[in-house]
Amino acid sequence: MERINKKIKSNIIIWALVMALATVGNFSYCNYIVKADMTVYITRTGSKYHTHKCGNGYYYPSDLTTAKEMGLEPCSKCFPYGEPNVSRENSSVSGETKKAKPIKINKRKMVLIKGKSARLKIKNATQPIKWKSTKKSVAVVSAKGKVTAKKAGMAIIIASVGNQKKRCKIRVESPKLSFNKIAMKVGENKVLKLKGCRHSVKWSSDDSDIVSVKKGKLTAKDVGTAKISARVHGKKYTCKIVVKKPDVMSVSLETSNITLNLYEEVSLQYTSNPKTVPDYYDATWTSQNSSVVYVKDQYYDYADIYAAGIGETDIILTVGGKTTKCHVVVQ
């Protein structure tokens, strides 16, 4: 019994000493000492600092001294014994806040097509990143560094981390084809341009047998419809091409006068401008007097005529609205 009483008295003395120290020396058994450069985690809008990522959202690494200078308080879950005391002994701070590493940005300049987005990133950020656009009408930036192009022009995106800043120059392009639809004729050439774009354009045709394209130069090859595409920065712009048969500029026979013997058969051939006329137009051959000369057979670009009787007549050729003739004498 005497031994138990001594133990109780000993504990009372120890607690008395603890309370005395707490009163005189401003000491708390709950306080503990950590290094000034201890790594803590903070959020962009939060009011607490943490020992780890203890919630949703983005957490940025910082040091305890910086977090306190920002007016942040300890998270009750991460620091259940309250705010820790900072010791500068054995710390890399040595009386001054640890110098932060220079921040880096992943891109210094960027080209965006109107409506497209891209992400900017910052390395070595120990504090929340603040993003800003110098011209929001051209490009806007989100709190997470996502840049969205609004209209053609120039803008600077600025990332601020404490006293450090990084910039990215943004050029927004708004390309537009010079035509959305073009009518052409076989054999014709035209030029299609992608305006408002400084970069190289990849051109293609969905039917090169109808229309071919090279660096925007179109060549109509056959009757039909084709779609021309211009690609730049991952976006495609299209133009519909409708190709019609060529106009007949002129037709002419190889001879305008001929003399035949009775019952003789010969061929009359014609030439045209353009040369492809026979591919798209049917020729009409007629005799002014079929009892003297008549058209026996018609082919691609010529006809066979037959001298049936003595006399004179004309053979008339009509192609695509153009007419020519040959005077024939039968003897």
> CA–CA separation, 98 vs 114, rounded Å?
43
pLDDT band at 98 (very low <50, low <70, confident <90, very high): low
pLDDT digit string, tens, across residues 43-82: 877 788 888 888 887 787 888 887 887 778 888 888 887 7
Determine the pLDDT at residue 89: 52
User: To the nearest whole number, what is the mean pLDDT of the chain?
Assistant: 85
Residue closest to 321 by CA, chosen among 264, 282, 263, 276: 282
Phi-psi region of 311 (alpha: psi -120 to 50; beta: other; left: phi over 0): left
**Pairing verdict, β 217-220 and 211-214:** antiparallel
Q: What is the pLDDT of residues 198-246, one digit of tens each?
A: 888 999 999 999 999 999 999 999 999 999 999 988 889 999 999 999 9
Contact between residue 216 and residue 232 where contact means Cβ atoms under 8 Å apart: no
Local structure of 205: helix, strand or coil = strand
Residue 29 structure tokens: 């058994």
Whether the predicted pLDDT of 149 surpasses 60? yes
Handedness of CA 228, 233, 234, 235 (dihedral sign): negative
Q: Are 254 and 268 in contact (CB under 8 A)?
A: yes
Ordered by where they begin, the domains of the chain are 19-87 (no CATH), 104-173 (2.60.40.1080), 176-244 (2.60.40.1080), 250-330 (2.60.40.1080)
Residue type, 70: M
pLDDT confidence tier of residue 93, bands split at 50, 70 and 90: very low
Identity of residue 139: A
Q: How confident is the model at residue 257 (pLDDT cuts 50, 70, 90)?
A: very high
Q: Give the Å distances, CA to CA, from 167 to 132, 149, 170, 226, 273.
A: 10, 16, 10, 45, 62
The answer on pLDDT for 320 being more than 70 is: yes
For residue 318, list its beta bridge partners: 284, 323
Report whether pLDDT(157) > 70. Answer: yes
pLDDT above 80: residue 97: no
- Name 203's Cβ contacts closer than 8 Å, sequence gap at least 6: 213, 214, 215, 216, 228, 229, 230
Q: Taking the alpha carbons of 45, 48, 53, 59 in that order, is the dihedral positive or negative?
A: positive
Alpha-carbon distance of 320 to 310, in angstroms, equals: 32
* pLDDT above 80 for 311: yes
> Between residues 92 and 46, which one has the greater pLDDT?
46
- CA distances, 311 to each of 81, 249, 282, 330 (Å): 129, 33, 29, 5
b/e 55-88 (16+ beta carbons within 10 angstroms → b): eeeebbebbbbbbbeeebebbeeebeeeebebee
Residues whose CB falls within 8 Å of the CB of residue 69, separated by 6 or more in sequence, listed in order:
97
CB 240 within 8 A of CB 227: yes
pLDDT of residue 87: 63
Structure confidence by residue, pLDDT tens digits, 3-39: 444 543 544 454 444 444 444 444 444 445 666 678 8
By CB atoms closer than 10 A (0-12, 13-18, 19+), residue 2 is exposed
**pLDDT, position 238:** 96
Please give the average per-residue pLDDT across 97-110, as a whole number. 83
Q: Is the pLDDT of residue 286 over 80?
A: yes
Amino acid 27: pLDDT: 40
